[in-house]
Chains A and B, each alone.
Chain A
Amino acid sequence: MIKKNTVGSGLLLLLIAGVVGYGIGFGLDALVSGNTPRLAASVPSAFALLFAVSAFFFGLYGYRGITRGLTWQVVGTLAGALLVTGLRLLMGLKGNDILEAKFFFSEPAWVFGGLVGVISFLAGVGVMDDWTKWALGIDTPDHHEDAPGWEKYFGVSVDHKVIGIQYTITALVLISVGGLFALIFRTELAQSGLQFLSPDPTKFNVFNQSGPQMYNSLMSLHGMIMIVSILLGISGIINYVVPLLVGAHDMAFPRMNAFAFWVAVPAAVLLLMSMVLGGFDTGWTGYPPLSARAPVGVQFFFLGVFTAGWSSILGSLNVIATVLRMRAKGMTAMRMPIFVWAAIATSIIALTATQLIGLSFQLVMFQRLLGMGFFDPLKGGNPVLFQHLFWFYSHPAVYVFVLPGLGVISELLPVFVRKPLFGYRWIAMSSLGIALVGFVVWAHHMFASGMNEYLRVPFMYSTMLVAVPTGVKFFSWVATIWGGKIETPTPMLFVLGGIIVFLIGGISGPPNAMVALDLHLTDTYWVVGHFHDTIFGGFVFPFFAAIYYWFPKATGRRMNEFWGKIHFWLMTPSFFTLTFGMMYVGLRGMRRRIADYDPALGIDTAHLVMTISAFLIALSVLIFFINFIRSIKHGEEAKGNVWNSRSPEWQVPSPMPAHNYEVPFEVVGEPYDYGLADSKYVEFSAASGKKH
C-alpha cells in the first residue's frame, strides 16, 4: 500500500517544483517577451505545471516509469522545439513576433516539440523496450512478472488487469478535470451577463486569455477531455474484463496493450498544454476556418487528439485479435458473454474510423504550418470537406462510447433479475447493427452546414434507422426485467438509471435527425441536453455500474453500499434537472458554446437551477471518489462470487491471480440461463486446455 510519507514527499516536491518551475518560466518569459511580467502568463504556468507534476511522481515513485516518461517528455518537447528554432534561424525564416513573444517558441517549433515530446515519453517510460530488443535480435521473456503492491500501476506492466486499472484510474482523473472545467463555465452561466470571466483583460487574464476566451477554451477542452476520458474508460473496462470473460491469460498483444495505454498519457498532457498555450475557441470539433486562425493551443489540441487516437486504434485491434484467437474451448460466437459482442462492435468502429479524425486534424495542422489550402476557399479548398472527414469518425465515436456501456447493461441485468437475457442473438446482432449503420449517418451533423442538399434526406433516414437496433436493445432489457426477481444493489441501480437516462437521450434524438426540425434545433442547448443524456445513459451510468460490479474482482473488497446508493440517488435527480434544463433553455433560444445570454429570454432561473444541479452531480462524484479510495483498503472483504453470477471470472476467488485462470474452463451451456435448474455455463477442468 502507498505509504503516507511517499505521498507526503510527493506533495512537498510538487510544491517546491511548482515554485521553481514558475520562477524559471517567469524569468524566461520576462527575458524573451520584454513584456511587463504578468503573474498568470503562459510560459511560467506551463513550466510550473510540468515541473510540479513530474516532481509529484518523483516523490511518490522515484525516477522510473511515469516519472521518467514525463521528464523525458518535457526534455523532448524542449529539445524538439529548440531544434526547429535553430533550423529556422539558420534558414533565415522569420517567425511571428507576437506569437513568439507570447508563447516563447514559434508554431512549427511547438508542434515538432510536442511530437518529439510524445515519442520521448514513450521511450522514457520504457514501453518500447521489448520491441527495441526484438529489433536488435535480443529475445525477451514472454511474461514479465510484476512486483506485488501498488508500484506496478505507475510503470509499464503488460498484465491486462493492471493496464485495465491504469486506464480506469486515468479516465477517472480526466473525468474530474473535464468536470472541473464544466463547473467553472457552468458557474459563469448561472446568471446572464459576464460575472467573473470578464472580457476586461485587466480584471481577468489567465494564460493570456480574457474571460470569454477562457470560457471558449474551457468549453472546448471540457468536450475533448471528456471524450478522451470516455475512450480510456471503455478501454479500462474492456481491458480488464474481456480476457477474463473469454478465458484468455492475457490480451493477444500484451506489449501493444501497454503501448496503447501509455500513449494516452502524453496525449492528455498535450491536451492540457493547449490550455496554457493560448487555448482555443473552436469547440471540440475544431472546424476550420476558425481553427486555422485559433491560437497555437489548437495545434496541441490536434496533436493530443491524434496521439490519443492511437491508443484507441491499437487497443481495439488488440481486442478483436484477442476475441478471435483466444476464446476458451466451447465458446462459440453465440455463447460469448454479451459484453464481448459489444466490445467487438465498438472496436470495429474505433479501429477504422478513428483514422479519419486523425487525418482531418492533421490536414488542418499542415494547413496552418505550410499554408496547404485543403480547407481554405481562397486556394480552392473546401471547409465542408473537413466536416465530412471529421464526422466520419466523430459520429460513430458516440457509438464507440455507448456500445460498451449498453453491453455492460445487458451483461449485468440478468445477474440482478435472476432471469435469462431475453433475445441474446438479437442483442449481439444489434450491437453490430448499430456499429455498421453508424458508419453512414455522419452528415446529420451537417444539415445546416451548406453541404449538398440532396444529401440531407438520405442521411435523415439512415439516422432514423439507428433507432431500430437500439430499440431491439430496449425491448430485450424490458423483457429481461419483466417478471424477474429484481435485486437492487448499487451496480443494478446504475444499470436501471442508465436504461432510463439513455431512453430519454434516445427519444430526444429523432427531433434532431429530422431535417425540418434540426434546422431550428441545431447549435442550441437542446442538442447539448440530448447529447449529455445519451452519453450519461450510455457511458457514465454503466461505467459506474461496472466499477461497482467488478471492484471486488480487482481488489477482493466491496465498495460501500450505503455511500454507493447515496451517490446514485444524489446524481440521478440532479442529472435529470440539469439535462431537462438544458433542453428547456435550448428550446427557449439559448445557443450552445456562448458565454452569455440575453436576460430577456427569461431563462436566468433555469440556468441557476442547472448550475446548482451541476454542483450536486460533482458532489455525488466526490462521494464516489472517497468511497472508491477508502474501499481499496477498508472495504468489506468479498473474495467469492459476490453477485452470484454465472460468469467465469466470478467462479474463482478474488482478486484475480496474475495469469488469470489457474485451471482452464470449458463452455458447456448458455451464458445467461439464470434460474434454470441444473444449467451451467462453464466447467473448470485441467483437461480443457486449449487446442486449436
Chain B
Amino acid sequence: MTQHNHDNSSMLSQGIYIFVYLAVLTALEFGIAISFDATILLVVIALVKAVLVVYYYMHIYQLNAEHEGDEDSYEYKSGTNRIGLWLFLISDTFVFGGLMAMRLNLLGLSHPNLNQFLGLIVTTVLLVSSFFMNRGEALMHAGDRKGFITNTIVTFVLGLGFLIGVVFVEWPNAMREGITPSSGVAGAAFYMMTGMHAFHVLTGLIFLLVVLRNARRGLYDEKQYPVEAVAVYWHFVDVVWIFFYPALYLIGSIAK
C-alpha cells in the first residue's frame, strides 16, 4: 500500500524516534512555561510537534501516492477515502481554530489557574496513546494482526484514561477551585475547548472499538484502509491537544 510497508522494522523504530522527540519537546515546553514567560517559543514548539505528528504519524504524504488499477479497485477507492478524511479534518480544524480564536480574543496572554500536574499527566497519556496507535498501525500493515490488537487495546485504555482524566478528574478539580462554566470567560473557554476536544476523543474511542472488533474477526487482513483511517483520526485528536494544552495551561500569566 505504501512505500514503508516493505520496510516494517524501520517504520517501528521511526515511530519510537518520533515519540522520543515529541516527549522531549513536551518536557521542554513544560519546563519553559514554568520557568519563564516565552509564548513565542511555546508556539514554535507546538508547531514542530504538530508537524512531526502530521508527517510521521498521520503520513500526510500518502495523499500524493499514485494508485495502480481502475476506479473500482480497492487501492483507488482507499485513495479517494483518504482525500475525504483529510478534507474532513481540514473542516474540523476550523472548529478548533475558531475555539482558539475565541480563547485568544477573550483571554489574550493569560490562562486559567489550572492544576499543572494534572495537565501534564493527561497530555502525556494522550501522547503515549498516539505512539501505540502508530505502532499498532505499522504492525497491521506488516500483517501482524495480534500486534495490532494488543497495541490498539493499549491505545484505547490510554484514550479512555485521558477522557476520564479531563472530564472526571480535571473538571471537578477546576470546579472546586472556583473555575466553573459560568464563573467567567476563563472558565467558559476552558470547558468549551476541553469539552469539544473530549467529544472528539469520545468519537475516536468509539471508532477504535469498531476497528478492534472487526480486526479480531479478520476483516482488515486484506482491506486495511479502516485501520489507517482510525489511526489518522486518533492522531488528529492528539494534534489538537498539542495546541490546546499550551493554550489552556502554559502560555502567559494566570487569568483572574
Contacts and interface: CB of A to CB of B under 8 A. Distances in A.
A354 B83 CA distance: 19
B87 interface: yes
B69 A692 contact: yes
Contact of A389 (B66, B101, B214, B219): B101
Interface residues of B, number: 40
Contact of B210 (A135, A353, A366, A379): A135
Contacts, number: 114
B87 A351 contact: yes
Contact of B184 (A317, A360, A379, A691): A379
B94 A352 contact: yes
A356 B94 contact: yes
Interface stretch (A175-183, A319-327, A587-595, A598-606): A319-327
Name which of A318, A354, A359, A385 has the most chain B CB atoms within 10 A of its CB.
Answer: A359
B214 to A, nearest CB: 4
A355 B182 contact: no
A308 to B, nearest CB: 15
A325 B182 contact: no
Nearest to B215: A137
B80 interface: yes
Contact of B90 (A352, A374, A382, A392): A352
Contacts of A379: 182-185, 188
Nearest to A249: B71
Interface in B55-70: 66-70
Interface string A372-400: 11100001111001001100100000000
Given A135-B210, A692-B69, A355 B192 contact: no
B102 interface: yes
Contact of A382 (B92, B106, B181): B106
A359 B188 contact: no
A385 B66 CA distance: 44
Using C-beta atoms within 8 Å of the partner chain, give the interface range for chain A.
35 or more
Interface in B101-116: 101-102, 105-106
Given A137-B213, A317-B88, A372-B182, A389 B188 contact: no
Nearest to B105: A385
B246 interface: no
Contacts of B95: 355, 358-359
B70 A690 contact: yes
Contact of A351 (B66, B90, B98, B106): B90
B233 to A, nearest CB: 14
B84 interface: yes
Contacts of A62: none
A252 interface: yes
Contact of B98 (A313, A326, A355, A366): A355
A304 B129 CA distance: 36
B84 to A, nearest CB: 5
A12 interface: no
A580 interface: no
Nearest to B99: A359
A324 B83 contact: yes
A689 interface: yes
Contacts of A373: 182, 184-185, 188
A278 to B, nearest CB: 23
Contact of A363 (B84, B92, B192): B192
A370 interface: yes
Contacts of B213: 137
B79 interface: yes
A317 B188 contact: no
B179 to A, nearest CB: 12
Interface string A344-374: 0000000111111011100100110011111
A370 B181 contact: yes
Contact of A372 (B67, B99, B192): B192
Given A317-B84, A353-B94, A137 B185 contact: no
A348 to B, nearest CB: 10
Interface string B185-224: 1111101100000000000000000100110010100000
Interface in A215-236: none
B115 to A, nearest CB: 21
B76 interface: yes
B87 A325 contact: no
A253 interface: yes
Contacts of A351: 87, 90-91
A560 to B, nearest CB: 40
Interface of B is mostly: helix
Interface string A304-318: 000000000100011
Given A252-B80, A380-B106, A355 B91 contact: yes
A371 B94 contact: no
Contacts of A690: 70-71
B98 A356 contact: yes
A61 B182 CA distance: 48
Contact of A313 (B91, B182, B184): B91
Contact of B91 (A317, A326, A691): A317
A367 B181 CA distance: 9
B87 A691 contact: no
B181 A692 contact: no
Given A352-B90, A370-B182, A372-B191, A252 B84 contact: yes
Contact of B192 (A366, A380, A385): A366
B171 to A, nearest CB: 13
Contacts of B66: 692
B98 A359 contact: yes
A689 B188 contact: no
A386 B227 CA distance: 39
B214 A317 contact: no
Contacts of A317: 84, 87-88, 91
A374 B188 contact: yes
Contacts of A324: 83
Nearest to B218: A137
Contacts of B70: 689-692
A241 to B, nearest CB: 20
Interface in A267-322: 313, 317-318, 320-321
A385 B107 CA distance: 12
Nearest to A135: B210
Contacts of B217: 137
Contact of B106 (A252, A367, A374, A692): A374
A690 B102 CA distance: 47
Name which of B68, B84, B191, B219 has the most chain A CB atoms within 10 A of its CB.
Answer: B84
A110 B154 CA distance: 39
Given A372-B192, A373-B188, A381-B188, A325 B80 contact: yes
Given A382-B105, A690-B71, 9 more contacts: A135-B210, A320-B87, A351-B90, A355-B91, A356-B98, A372-B182, A374-B102, A374-B185, A692-B69
Interface of A: 135, 137, 252-253, 256, 313, 317-318, 320-321, 324-326, 351-356, 358-360, 363, 366-367, 370-374, 379-382, 385, 388-389, 392, 689-692
| Minimum-distance CB pairs A-B, first 5 | A371-B182, A372-B188, A355-B94, A380-B185, A359-B98
29 contacts: A135-B214, A137-B214, A256-B84, A317-B87, A317-B88, A317-B91, A320-B83, A321-B80, A321-B83, A325-B71, A325-B80, A326-B71, A351-B87, A352-B94, A353-B94, A355-B91, A355-B92, A366-B188, A370-B191, A371-B181, A372-B191, A372-B192, A374-B106, A374-B185, A382-B106, A692-B68, A692-B70, A692-B71, A692-B76
